[in-house]
Structure 1
């Protein structure tokens, strides 16, 4: 991310980070400069921007290769003399809206978003506040523009239609964009060699799966040289001087290469890795005339996001050595605890040949990243140099891709248009009938019966109209008996001691804490003063204060004062279910070698989670739909008891209602396709999501893995493919191979297949799922021979005894047979004797 200088926006117009981790075998020497997409937003005319070569930004009103979906308008700058033509118009979005681009071929694309907050007669663009998402990633959150700025991202696109969505964060707010660029980048790196992974402690590893993440450009610096403007760069990039980032400026001196061009060599850096000017200048250790130096190293310090992975590329070109006799090697340090030997001659075999080194560096809690170079004792020449630095933040959380419908194309001739229009109308009628039949199989319901919990999206914000309302919704039904003072929270968390922080996500930070009575709890705190997530905050309080079950995480209390939003849960010692299945975040997306869960244990965990969901659907008396069932929302206590967590997206209604029309919420990879298609939420939507979880448990891999071949990316589709072939054992977690009874696996596979049926009416309810899973567990434990047809029965009641359900009197908190007796509710120390709730790794979803 970089700020444009207001006195000359053209000089800072376009910058592009051309790292390429694409699977394409494109050679950079054969790369052709792109001609799409360069979009001039909010204008009915094209704009040509000078560069090498020029680029033509086309109007977003008259293109046939992309289209807009949603309610939009355009505005113009009232003072056009202060900006380039590209920034004199903007597209305004007052509701969630999207650009839909036709993409061919697949690969890693650069996405650049231009924002210039001018004032017009209609809007002051500096008042905008919005979110931007694309390709399942949240790119910008609560974003507002005070200075002209370009945000640049790199994403892998393997779909034919690429969607960039703009969503205002409040009803009174809006979103805007001045220009958009999306184009395929040249292949300038070897995808077969993953970058080195570096932690703040100096640990070294490899970072796999970078293709499945998005990258956000933070810095691009020309070390030892002046700023490089887009018209001097082969791909319109903008490089700043490194001088502002030097910790000790006197430790370095500038070096310059006086030859015409660097000596590019096959397999190394190219003119697309960085322009000639980057490799023709460098910072070198300031050595005095006697060959010594008063400085031991050169340090650059950059402000970065805390506790986040960052892709770092450092550029080298040996322009400081005078001959091959001066064999030069030196150390590159990251956070001073990690060192890498840089030996240019050993890498490229001659002087003045550009090359680079790639790393993924985890930032620490300071928000600072140090890049250091220093001489080595075994080097003939005691110096060090650096030519360029690029830093990009790795965006690991994925979100929901909004479904959009392509508008009908205009026809040029009246006669042809009439004929085509008639045919289209007929086809549309057929489609409407089919969709109506598919989406109306359940009894319709008026939305008014579902108003106990309001339907808020992830982008909703708190509107401070009154102490007793949130976006018009009365808060009188919050359980005030659970309210905790902020002072109690400060005591429990030791003033939010960072040493007690065990997680961080979209809602905020999570701390392991201890209340005054000695109870261990998990404290989830939203960022102070941030209204984002307040509707979900109240939703979770309303839901969890009215239910209690052994397989649902319990709410201990909440704090809603001093603009704070704090939830206090029982502590879950063993973390999330996903933690025990596989490792993400670049280390591995397959099963973890540390997993100790047997098939018996996995089945028991699935049964527990299914019982929790069944209670929500049927036994709570409220008909609650969770709406975000996934492996990170199933937590394990110290005794490996599974509990369903995170009810911020839940919906609540009467049990005799079968579905409700609502905006799509949830997590990518777990969404019920019928819910996504028809916008009708049912309890069977949770059943579908749970079917995906069952496959995660069996296969020990994530629901979506973009680093895999196309047909394997979606776990639900991949699992159903093998299940229908009768060969589900082919994708079982390697740690379970040979350890699952075939009859148990067959029953489990049939349960998964039923949960993942295309239409909700074809899926079982959660009670049936519980029975099927218990039957699969019994087949595993008994391992006795049965005929195949016996194991495929839906009703297993003839095999398993029906547990007696103890009906206890309750006015507000229903209890099932596994729960603590009602008498214990008067003693909170006994109620939460197990002291449970988890580190809540809120790294995706809410």
Structure 2
């Protein structure tokens, strides 16, 4: 067996979690495991509900619910059980369950923001769990919202080590918002998920983030013995040409109760269903026999500051048995060899699995790869059947449950002491309010204090005005030289946003929430507030610093402008001019907004290309954006485009830049070469912009998991249609009759060039800009045609293109829109207003 190389693992935790999943060390008592029948709760309902054979008990009569102020609501549309009802909480509340035996439990929380009298998609809340007798707990979900564009349920699954006694799940609304839940599951997991010797004072907490049926179809809980969802792997593949599906016609698995060198026999379907092991991804014929075999790689978006437990499932369904030997890698690091002459699982249809723990090391992506071992005596092939990835929630531990008044459902007794206490408490509250009002009148001109739920934490070495920016660096140099004219006090931003009222929330993203606000001078702004860093890890600080550094140095008509920032204590807040029309994505997908014309779309793409071209070649010295997507292209009141969100940007002379960096960006827009090599160049932005061009043309997301697998990835699907001459069939129907065939042909060719696999084959942003301007001129000079004539298939090959001169100004480094911005004093405050926001949470 080969040894580990350059693979960062904390051995004690690895040993614990590896043991956690071992059947053999537990004498395979999982064979006696039976499906549980209790602690399935139908929230907000007076009637029981059935889901996949489970009976969910109505919480109104269960005795599980403890809440001072809650409300049951029903869906106004037809929804499947138990998603017809929900329980809303306006203050912190909890469900309490009696646990008779210790072990690892599966906890699932179900959320569906259905249509009702209350807009559930605006809920913002935390979920806490207190699973053991020492009253220590963990935050399972933080600042959680159940908004889901696919209108399908969100199911959050956790594995928790729970002691005998009471187990509580708290729902804690944020500020003036509320919390809700549709259904809850709490049941003992099979023995393979139960640690035999876990003596820590803290419970074990794992959060399931991916469960993938590799090479097979998506299947739902009714096909799984413990009701798990398994999704297709295609959307995670870095290169779809590197692998193909393999599936035997009909076969019975041979499940074995053995282990060898860390590999464990999947001896029953509680590990994974037969459907997982009877499908696989294998190498394509075009990649076999190469001098340097091509790895098959799956890329997963993860939390950058967390460790993850990964379980990979294998079952040789391709044969001949014992002749396939290959290596398993993570982020390019060797993990283990699979197969070989002495390998215990050298037989067909015998499933097994392997567990390991890894860290993303600051990257927001984890790559899992398999590649043939360089061995001429074996078959040059690989296979993978399934993959699970669980985030390890490591703290900080919550030492005591929140104080809460518990009005249990079904309890009718009223204690005199409670009534008297309530009266006294009410009088005390009135007195406190009177004193507070008088105090406020006396000191109404004093500096306002923090009242939101994100109170600043004490900063190391500083008082209330201590700046985080002077503590850290971006490129090794302190940031204390920034123009202080950009700084805005936290008190003013509190007032501008009505103390960050959720009613003013206009966007959400990985960095934080975006609020609409009005400064003291009456100016409308967008205020992006970074998430509170409770772990003290500095997560988000680099993005905050980078955004300030980039936007304080540049100015361009098609780049977002920064109004100011706040870095008092633990706050990380960025303030931008407000963008009237929102993001490009909004106007492509939101049915409530007017559809953009083809001419408007071309102008928007040209504007964004100008902004990116300036970033790459302008006076700032060369900047790679690294997160180009439709949500980061914003539109002013006249639909002028501006590129926004520079938190992931990298700077440096681009003629020398081939930076090795952790992969960051957004699924569907990421350059495959960047994912594989982790080498960042400006051509990665070009690839992402090519995806945006297809998005603009087709008005569909970069990744749509609801579509068939060959249509799921827009870049791959669009280029396939282009090669087959069918691109016109996937063009947005609202603009089909507006597009001149020559303009469409030039536009699609530009997108195709941007999406080349080899970065060297892609154009520069200057070339992309010129091509888009050419497509615009072709559209402008097109003769009028009847709708039935509008077809690229009928476009004459003899079509005479206008004589368009390629002016030097197009590809020059600086034009009339481009200026360096050394200081805030030079900002033109009458410029078109913009803001930087992330409206979709699938990326970072």
**Residue 804 of structure 2: aligned partner:** 799
CA–CA distance in structure 2, aligned partners of residues 390 and 802 of structure 1 = 63
Q: 1:233 to 1:638 in 2, by over 3 A?
A: farther
**Residue 743 of structure 1: aligned partner:** 742
**Residue 400 of structure 1: aligned partner:** 301
CA contact (8 A) 1:576 1:633 kept: yes
CA contact (8 A) 1:246 1:301 kept: no
**Residue 763 of structure 1: aligned partner:** 762
CA–CA distance in structure 1, aligned partners of residues 374 and 808 of structure 2 = 61
Tell me, yes or no, if structure 1 residue 566 matches structure 2 residue 573. Answer: yes
Q: 1:671 to 1:601 in 2, by over 3 A?
A: same
SS in 2 for 1:506: coil
In structure 2, runs of 5+ residues without a counterpart are 24-29, 72-76, 90-109, 115-119, 128-180, 186-206, 211-234, 237-299, 303-329, 347-371, 382-456, 463-467, 785-794
**Residue 235 of structure 1: aligned partner:** 35
Q: CA deviation at 1:820?
A: 8.2
CA contact (8 A) 1:312 1:389 kept: no
CA–CA distance in structure 1, aligned partners of residues 471 and 677 of structure 2 = 31
Of 340, 358, 362, the match for 1:411:
340
**Residue 132 of structure 1: aligned partner:** none
Matches within 5 A, 1:80-91: 90-91=16-17
CA–CA distance in structure 2, aligned partners of residues 463 and 666 of structure 1 = 30
CA–CA distance in structure 1, aligned partners of residues 9 and 752 of structure 2 = 42
Q: 1:784 to 1:567 in 2, by over 3 A?
A: same
SS in 2 for 1:72: coil
**Residue 390 of structure 1: aligned partner:** 183
CA–CA distance in structure 2, aligned partners of residues 815 and 515 of structure 1 = 33
CA–CA distance in structure 1, aligned partners of residues 6 and 68 of structure 2 = 43
Matches within 5 A, 1:291-302: none
Q: CA deviation at 1:412?
A: 2.9
CA contact (8 A) 1:806 1:817 kept: no
Of 524, 540, 565, the match for 1:520:
524
Q: Residues 455-497 of structure 1: CA distance to partner in whole angstroms, max 9, x if unpaired?
A: xxxxxx9996995333794323533331222223223223323
Tell me, yes or no, if structure 1 residue 72 matches structure 2 residue 9. Answer: yes
Q: Residues 673-725 of structure 1: CA distance to partner in whole angstroms, max 9, x if unpaired?
A: 11111111111110000000000000000000111001000000000001112
CA contact (8 A) 2:459 2:569 kept: no
CA contact (8 A) 1:628 1:666 kept: yes
Tell me, yes or no, if structure 1 residue 834 matches structure 2 residue 832. Answer: yes
Q: Residues 211-269 of structure 1: CA distance to partner in whole angstroms, max 9, x if unpaired?
A: xxxxxxxxxxxxxxxxxxx9999534651678xx899xxxx8x99xxxxxxxxxxxx95
CA contact (8 A) 1:747 1:772 kept: yes
CA contact (8 A) 1:746 1:791 kept: no
Tell me, yes or no, if structure 1 residue 469 matches structure 2 residue 471. Answer: yes
CA–CA distance in structure 2, aligned partners of residues 358 and 73 of structure 1 = 34
Q: 1:802 to 1:710 in 2, by over 3 A?
A: same
SS in 2 for 1:408: strand
Q: 1:424 to 1:595 in 2, by over 3 A?
A: farther
SS in 1 for 2:667: coil
Q: Residues 583-637 of structure 1: CA distance to partner in whole angstroms, max 9, x if unpaired?
A: 4xxxxxxxx4744210000000000000000000012341100001000111111
SS in 2 for 1:640: coil
Q: 1:638 to 1:232 in 2, by over 3 A?
A: farther
Of 518, 532, 542, the match for 1:535:
542
SS in 2 for 1:735: coil
CA–CA distance in structure 2, aligned partners of residues 647 and 358 of structure 1 = 32
Q: CA deviation at 1:669?
A: 0.6
- Deviating more after overlay: 357-366 vs 726-735: 357-366
**Residue 662 of structure 1: aligned partner:** 661
Q: 1:790 to 1:673 in 2, by over 3 A?
A: farther
SS in 2 for 1:518: coil
Q: CA deviation at 1:75?
A: 2.8
CA–CA distance in structure 2, aligned partners of residues 425 and 395 of structure 1 = 35
CA–CA distance in structure 2, aligned partners of residues 640 and 647 of structure 1 = 21
CA contact (8 A) 2:458 2:569 kept: no
**Residue 648 of structure 1: aligned partner:** 647
CA contact (8 A) 1:303 1:368 kept: no
CA–CA distance in structure 1, aligned partners of residues 798 and 692 of structure 2 = 26
**Residue 137 of structure 1: aligned partner:** none
Q: CA deviation at 1:788?
A: 3.7
Tell me, yes or no, if structure 1 residue 423 matches structure 2 residue 423. Answer: no
In structure 1, runs of 5+ residues without a counterpart are 1-60, 77-87, 93-176, 182-229, 256-267, 287-297, 305-309, 317-330, 337-356, 370-387, 429-460, 584-591, 808-813
CA–CA distance in structure 1, aligned partners of residues 379 and 341 of structure 2 = 21
Q: CA deviation at 1:662?
A: 1.4
Q: CA deviation at 1:502?
A: 1.5
CA–CA distance in structure 1, aligned partners of residues 38 and 599 of structure 2 = 57
Matches within 5 A, 1:66-465: 70-75=7-12, 90-91=16-17, 178-179=20-21, 235-236=35-36, 239=39, 272-274=52-54, 314=81, 360-361=113-114, 362-365=120-123, 367=125, 390-391=183-184, 400=301, 407-409=336-338, 411-412=340-341, 422-423=375-376
Computed over aligned residues only, the root mean square deviation of the Cα atoms, in angstroms, reads 5.1
SS in 1 for 2:651: coil
Q: 1:488 to 1:763 in 2, by over 3 A?
A: same
Q: 1:602 to 1:703 in 2, by over 3 A?
A: same
Tell me, yes or no, if structure 1 residue 547 matches structure 2 residue 554. Answer: yes
Q: 1:389 to 1:568 in 2, by over 3 A?
A: closer
- How many residue pairs match? The answer is 495
Q: 1:648 to 1:824 in 2, by over 3 A?
A: closer
CA contact (8 A) 1:490 1:496 kept: yes
Of 491, 498, 503, the match for 1:494:
498
Q: 1:389 to 1:648 in 2, by over 3 A?
A: closer
CA–CA distance in structure 2, aligned partners of residues 403 and 789 of structure 1 = 50
**Residue 679 of structure 1: aligned partner:** 678
SS in 1 for 2:527: strand
SS in 2 for 1:525: strand
SS in 2 for 1:543: helix
CA–CA distance in structure 2, aligned partners of residues 333 and 833 of structure 1 = 46
Matches within 5 A, 1:615-764: 615-764=614-763
CA–CA distance in structure 1, aligned partners of residues 757 and 716 of structure 2 = 11
CA contact (8 A) 2:553 2:820 kept: no
**Residue 503 of structure 1: aligned partner:** 507
Q: 1:523 to 1:815 in 2, by over 3 A?
A: farther
CA–CA distance in structure 1, aligned partners of residues 662 and 730 of structure 2 = 34
Tell me, yes or no, if structure 1 residue 581 matches structure 2 residue 588. Answer: yes
Q: Residues 375-431 of structure 1: CA distance to partner in whole angstroms, max 9, x if unpaired?
A: xxxxxxxxxxxxx972599999996278566643352359xx9x9864289989xxx
Q: TM-score, normalised by structure 1?
A: 0.50
CA contact (8 A) 1:246 1:300 kept: no
Q: 1:608 to 1:312 in 2, by over 3 A?
A: same
CA–CA distance in structure 1, aligned partners of residues 337 and 556 of structure 2 = 51
**Residue 481 of structure 1: aligned partner:** 485
- Deviating more after overlay: 557-566 vs 592-601: 592-601
**Residue 603 of structure 1: aligned partner:** 602
